[in-house]
Amino acid sequence: MVRLFQGRYDREKNYRLAPLEVAKQFVEAGAKLIHLVDLDAARTGEPQQRDLILKLAKEVNAEFELGGGIRTIKIIADYLENGVSRVILGTAAHRDPNLVEQALKKFPRRIVIGIDAKEGKVAISGWEEKTGTSAVELAKRYDRPEVRAIIYTEIERDGTLQGPAIKSLEEILKAVNIPVIASGGVSGIPDLTALLPYEKLGLEGVIVGKAIYEGKINLKEAIQMMKDEL
């Protein structure tokens, strides 16, 4: 299990945890959906952890959403037809809208658009290439009912445990009608409760990673607390 700091591959942290055991622990804590990213594939554009990912999807009683290097309809179909619940298109969403159209037609409501931003601009290819497209512009482009959701990541906050980027997240929420999932910066329960009011604007969930691995959030307690609040 690896986490990056602000999307930088030269500042990764390996937690030396077995993915299968971690996923099972997440399910025992009450998780229904688990977020996966093939970090190596995000850079290369080719699946690097396919066998492990499909093993998780087969052996763990949860839904999985997967991102990282998914840039052809063949790869999309392979994952979605072999146990992955939904895939995330990030670089492809910016570079290859025709692929997105093809995927949405073949797999409606199983495609998530990943929007990763630095200073308001979309970053692609494993976050290493910054584009001139604004995050809001890309979000509006895919504000369609066939799209399952948008995952919005503020790269400067990712892995920092400095709290979510509320202002830029709110801009995305106000720009689209489809569900949005927040990602990046969550450091504890207070960050989760701070996001609750945004449910009425379309916030469907929040991705939490480093805070769990470093013991700052007890997943079982967090899930129960969110259920009680809702």
CATH number of the CATH domain containing 80? 3.20.20.70
Q: What is the pLDDT of residue 45?
A: 81
- Between 6-10, 45-49, 91-95, the lowest mean confidence (pLDDT) is in 6-10
**Per-residue pLDDT at 61 exceeds 90:** yes
Q: What is the pLDDT of residue 9?
A: 41
pLDDT band at 6 (very low <50, low <70, confident <90, very high): very low
pLDDT band at 188 (very low <50, low <70, confident <90, very high): very high
Provide the H-helix boundaries in the chain.
19-28, 39-44, 50-59, 73-80, 91-95, 97-106, 135-141, 166-175, 189-195, 210-213, 219-229
Model pLDDT for residues 89-146, shown as the tens digit of each residue:
998 999 999 999 999 999 999 999 999 998 888 988 766 678 889 999 999 999 999 9
Q: Which domain holds residue 68?
A: 2-229
Question: For the residues 40-52, what does the mean pLDDT come to?
Answer: 87
Q: What is the pLDDT of residue 230?
A: 63
Question: For the residues 202-216, what does the mean pLDDT come to?
Answer: 92
Output Rg (C-alpha) for the chain, integer angstroms. 16
C-beta neighbour count of 106 within 10 angstroms? 13
Q: What is the pLDDT of residue 154?
A: 87
This prediction's pTM: 0.89
**Per-residue pLDDT at 2 exceeds 80:** no
Number of compact structural domains in the chain: 1
